[in-house]
């Protein structure tokens, strides 16, 4: 993983650190099946810190409610 960011040699230190951080976060999320709390713990971060880093790096997903129709949500909540 780190070799990709370092071998490219393009960009400055700040950009290389940002790319390496992105790779680490993506790997932690993949290893925890997207569970942000466990990913944060594996990286030694608080969940809020991970969330802020993901936000800064553009790694946050859109909420599902934007893609799910209201009728489908309502019918799923019926008893």
Asked whether the predicted pLDDT for residue 79 surpasses 50, the reply is: no
Secondary-structure percent of the chain, ordered helix, strand, coil, rounded to 5: 70, 0, 30
Where do the domains of the chain lie, and which CATH numbers do they carry? 2-76 (1.10.10.60)
Output the pLDDT for position 1.
43
- Which structure tokens are listed for 51? 């969330």
Q: 18-31, pLDDT tens digit by residue?
A: 999 999 999 999 99
Q: 20-61, pLDDT tens digit by residue?
A: 999 999 999 999 999 999 999 999 999 999 999 999 999 987
Output the pLDDT for position 11.
78
């Amino acid at each position: 993983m780190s070799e990709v960011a370092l071998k490219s040699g393009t960009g400055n230190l700040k950009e290389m650190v940002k790319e390496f951080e992105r790779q680490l976060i993506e790997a932690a999320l993949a290893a925890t099946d997207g569970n942000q709390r466990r990913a944060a713990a594996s990286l030694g971060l608080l969940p809020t810190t991970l969330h802020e880093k993901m936000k800064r790096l553009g790694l946050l997903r859109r909420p599902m409610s934007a893609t799910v129709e209201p009728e489908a949500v309502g019918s799923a909540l019926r008893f």
